Structure 1
Amino acid sequence: MKELGKVLKTFSATKESSGLPRPIVSKLNLIENYGIQDDKFAGKKLDQTVMIVGLESYEIAKKNHIDLSFGSLGENILLDFDPHDFEVGMQFFIGDSIIEITQICTVCNHLNVFDEKLPQLLKSHRGLYCKIIKSGIIKQDMIVKG
């Protein structure tokens, strides 16, 4: 297992929030077979309980003159490396938690609110859905291993 990078920010879709960008939170409590504590999507699609995005996705937007605030892509975890370099089934170890890539997040029309070119630009870099293999807390600056 080697160090891949670190967590830049964490976000959660709280019951009080709606739409994008997702609010920044100080930590995520990942609960196996449930989801993220206090997240409005917890307990629903267990293979899609955590979405990870790499900084590269925001850089693609920026290079195309689209200024997005972090959380705009709907991620729960923003990473300083590109998780799209890894395949479905890859596991990431963050603190005590383990998450596993289950599928590539398809680009939805929700991104049109930022720029109508954005869905096409990010068609292969919107993010990756993960399931929780092992519960744990994830915070900013934690090391990600794989």
Structure 2
Amino acid sequence: MSTLGKVIDTFSAKVGQSGLPRPKVQSLDLIYGYGIKDDKFAGDNLDKTVMIVGKQSYDLAKENSIELQNGSLGENILLDFDPHEFPIGTRFKIGEAVIVVMENCTICNHLAVFDDELPILLQEYRGLYCKIEKAGIVTKNSTVELVEDTKSKIAS
């Protein structure tokens, strides 16, 4: 496994909470087959239980004079590298948990509350939806590693 970076912050919205930014939390308990413990979206669509975003998305907004607080994009995990550089199916080990990138997060008009241009600006960089492959705790400063695909190495 190769180290890619670290977790900048973690976020989760509890049942009954709405709107953006998502509240910052000390840690996330990723539960296989369920989602993030106590998160309002847990148990819904298991392929979208975790959303990751890179700091670059916030930098892009700032370069265009849009100031955003971390958590404003609806992410659960904010990373210090750009996860959009990796294809669907990529597996990341974050802390003890392993997540798999399932799809790009589609732009929603909820982001327009910050600036009308934001949904268009972040069209390709809104975040990535992931499913949980292995349970574990994720905290600020957790190391993020790329999980090598051993199946394809064996096949080749």
**Band of TM-score, shorter chain:** over 0.9
CA-atom RMSD, angstroms? 0.5
Q: Which has the larger Rg?
A: 2
Equivalent residue for 1:97?
97
> How far did 1:142 drift?
0.8
**In structure 1, the residue corresponding to 2:119 is in which secondary structure?**
helix
Residue 95 of structure 1: how far off its partner (Å):
1.8
> What's the TM-score once normalised by structure 2's chain length?
0.93
Aligned match of 1:31: 31
- 2:116 partner amino acid: E
2-side partners of 1:23 and 1:3: how far apart? 27
After TM superposition, the structure 1 = structure 2 runs for residues 60-79 of structure 1, keeping only pairs within 5 Å, are 60-79=60-79
For residues 44-95 of structure 1, what are the alpha-carbon distances to aligned partners after superposition, in whole Å with 9 as ceiling and x for unaligned?
0000000000000000000000000000000000000000000000000012
Indicate the residue corresponding to 1:57 in structure 2: 57
d(CA) in 2 for partners of 1:66 and 1:83? Answer: 21
1:77-88 superposed matches below 5 A: 77-88=77-88
- Deviation, 1:16, is 3.9
SS at match of 2:92: strand
Identity across matched positions, percent: 60
Letter in 2 for 1:133: E
Give me the TM-score of the superposition, normalised by structure 1: 0.99
Aligned to 2:131: 131
C-alpha distance in structure 2 between counterparts of 1:24 and 1:15, whole Å = 15
Secondary structure of the residue aligned to 2:15 is coil
Structure 1 stretches of 4+ with a deviation exceeding 4 A read: none
**Structure 2 unaligned residues grouped into runs of 5+:** 147-156
Segments of structure 1 that go 5 or more residues without pairing to the other structure are none
Matched positions, count: 146
